[in-house]
Structure 1
Amino acid sequence: MEKTSQKQIHLAKRPTGMPDNDTFGFKDAPVPEPKDGEVLVRTLYLSVDPYMRGRMQDTESYVEPFPLNEVIHGGVVGEIVQSNSTDFKRGDTIVGMLGWQEYSAVPAKAVRKIDPDTAPITTALGVLGMPGLTAYFGLLHIGQPQEGETVVVSGAAGAVGSIVGQIAKIKGARVVGIAGSDEKLQYLKQIGFDETINYKTDNVGQALKKACPNGVDVYFDNVGGEISDEVYSLLNKFARVPICGAISSYNKAGEDLGPRVQTKLIKSSALMKGFVVGDYSDRFEEGTRALGTWVKNGSLKYEETIVEGFDNIPEAFLGLFKGSNLGKQLVKVADPLYAKA
């Protein structure tokens, strides 16, 4: 490898409200030299995810905030271009939580080898990665859908929501998806959703009552806000509500105020439980195996929106909050030098 310099993206300032281009700082840096026990990874694909918005705030959460003026980190699929570890060789394809940069030198234990012959390498950041595992454990461990029950999914055309709906169908449930464009609703129908609602053009409350005449047994909540307020009114006795995200409020400058949910939960004896995928880290092998089987036999389909070019990473990230992506949002940074595509 002859390249000696690389691009990096740092957190330049903490955003108030919606991030913008000033939130991100581009810098040039030397390509690092791996130490003993380390590998040098060339970034091929990079993941942008809504949870990263929370890490841009200097507030206490389930994960540390991004430091100012340092490289932002997220999911990366890359190839080993230099190895000082017996666990990897040049050309191996890996996945790990690495920096928004073209090259990373990290301990070998910080990355995991993936097999390009099993599935496209991008799936390690999507259906067979964090989003797929989030859908799997959130729905099956908390939601526990039963055959014939009604499952409602908000953010249904996203990387997590689209998988949630399909797993619910595999389990025999009736599935209603909420998304923000006719194109996304058409896609949801194609992958098996029974009913769809466009929250931008439909009266969500009325549409939900029509789509869920027997109420809601499981609500997988990716968005929070007014959409979720409408769903809570339809919860059946002993309904389950996995709380995965609240993207509608991530860029609000003040408090996200709305109707109180306690009375509705009491009346329905419903369970509402927040979670992060790391809660199930000791069961990731189980989840990956199940997801892989469903993908292989065709019962679980996935979509990816891929933006090309390192310089377009901020644009891809900001697009998450505009609903620009269908399925998993990725950025293609480079073609492999040695590994299979």
Structure 2
Amino acid sequence: MAPGSFAEYTVVPAHAATPVPAATPAYLTLLVSGATAHISLKELGGLEEGKKVLVTAAAGGTGQFAVQLAKKAKCHVIGTCSSDEKSAFLKSIGCDRPINYNAEPVGVVLAREYPGGVDVVYESVGGAMFDLAVDALAVKGRLLVIGFISGYQTPTGLSPVKAGTLPVKLLRKSASVQGFFLNQYLSEHRASMDHLVKMCARGDLVCQVDQGNLSAEGRFTGLESVFRAVEYMYARKNTGKIVVELPHSVNSKL
């Protein structure tokens, strides 16, 4: 989580380290992705039994946790993804309605199957997906922005949205949009990690890792493969959290 993390070795203060039961890649998924999903939904999501929750990029590193945590709160979960294989993965972790946006238009599915809207959106894509999510909000719905990967590679770092229509859309529904950046919630990180590590160790939480075994050039091993791993992520090919294996069984996460 600190600058210089793409290294074979790094030194961190003991208070910033998290004890884990085993040195396996699964626990790396929790540091940023798991904690982001857990803290944001806990602090801002207002999850209750029966609520409808939409998770974008649901089969990705952080989406997988939002799906599972919302299900544990007894919500109905909808998740967007880019392939039938990812849809199958989402079903395996409890997603009630996976939507492969390359096979079904997300907006059409949401309007047809959820005419009353969704109560909470966990949004990490930005751009057109953000606009669809705003349109899908129910009365008093909440949209949590935890990222905008569609804009990360643009020169300005921006993900274009139809911001001009946003005030009236929110006003008509008494809905809200709120950003969540983990760095502003670090006081909650230790407790969140302790909770998530225990869940993972008990088998109560799937921590899906993608080490690039299905990529064209194979498994992500060594610092030189970091570039491939980043491109793999931007191409939306990963299922779960991407992990690059470094020498001496030291792992670095993306």
Aligned to 1:27: none
Q: Is the 8 A contact 1:153 1:164 kept in 2?
A: yes
Higher RCO (C-alpha 8 Å, min separation 6): 2
Match of 1:263 among 168, 183, 189: 168
Matches within 5 A, 1:16-55: none
Query: How many residue pairs were aligned?
Result: 239
Contact 1:142 1:241 in 2 (8 A): no
Q: Match for residue 279 of structure 1? A: 184
**8 Å Cα contact 2:27-2:197 kept in structure 1:** no
Is contact 1:222–1:243 with CA below 8 Å preserved after alignment? yes
C-alpha separation between the residues in 1 aligned to 2:51 and 2:5? 42
**TM-fit CA distance, 1:294:** 2.6
Question: Which of 239, 245, 248 in structure 2 is aligned with 1:332?
Answer: 245
Q: C-alpha displacement at 1:139, in angstroms? A: 1.4
Q: Aligned partner of 2:170: which letter?
A: L
Cα distance between partner residues in 2 of 1:274 and 1:126: 21
CA deviation vs aligned residue, 1:247-286 (integer Å, no higher than 9, x gap): 1122234664332322111111112111211221111222
For 1:179 and 1:299, the matched residues in 2 are separated by 23
Task: Give the Å deviation of 1:292.
Answer: 2.5
RMSD between superposed Cα atoms in Å: 2.1
> Which deviates the most, 287-296 or 218-227?
287-296
Q: Which residue of 2 aligns with 1:314?
A: 227
Per-residue displacement from partner, 1:217-251 (whole Å, max 9, x unpaired)?
Answer: 00001101112211211211211111100111222
The alignment status of 1:153 with 2:33, answered yes or no, reads no
2:170 counterpart SS class: helix
SS in 1 for 2:143: strand
Where structure 2 has 5 or more consecutive residues not aligned to the other structure, the ranges are 212-219
- Letter matched to residue 204 of structure 2: S
**Could you say what secondary structure the match of 1:223 adopts?**
coil
Question: Greater helix share, 1 or 2?
Answer: 2
Distance 2:130 2:249 in 1: 42
Q: SS of 1:206's equivalent?
A: helix
Cα shift at 1:152: 0.1
Q: Are the counterparts in 1 of residues 33 and 62 from structure 2 also a CA contact under 8 Å?
A: yes
Instruction: Pick from 111, 118, 123 the counterpart of residue 26 of structure 2.
Output: 123
Q: What TM-score comes out, normalization by structure 1 length?
A: 0.65
Deviation for aligned residue 1:101: 2.9
The SS at the match of 1:197 is strand
Counterpart pick for 1:142 among 22, 26, 44: 44
* Contact persistence 2:120–2:142 (CA under 8 A): yes
Give the aligned partner of residue 215 of structure 2: none
Amino acid at match of 1:302: C
- Residue 314 of structure 1 deviates from its aligned partner by 0.6
TM-score by length of 2: 0.86
Matched, 1:100 2:6: yes
- The one-letter code of the counterpart of 2:6 is W
Greater per-residue strand proportion: 1
Task: Verify the 8 A CA contact 1:97 1:111 in the aligned structure 2.
Answer: no
1:1-341 aligned at under 5 Å gives the runs: 75=1, 98-104=4-10, 106=11, 108-109=13-14, 112=17, 114-115=19-20, 118-127=21-30, 129-253=31-155, 256-260=159-163, 261-306=166-211, 307-336=220-249
Counterpart amino acid of residue 220 in structure 1: Y
1:101 and 1:308, CA in 2 relative to 1: closer, same or farther beyond 3 A?
same
Instruction: Please report how far the alpha carbon of residue 296 of structure 1 lies from its aligned counterpart in structure 2 after TM superposition.
Output: 3.4
Q: Secondary structure at the match of 1:236?
A: strand
Contact 1:170 1:299 in 2 (8 A): no
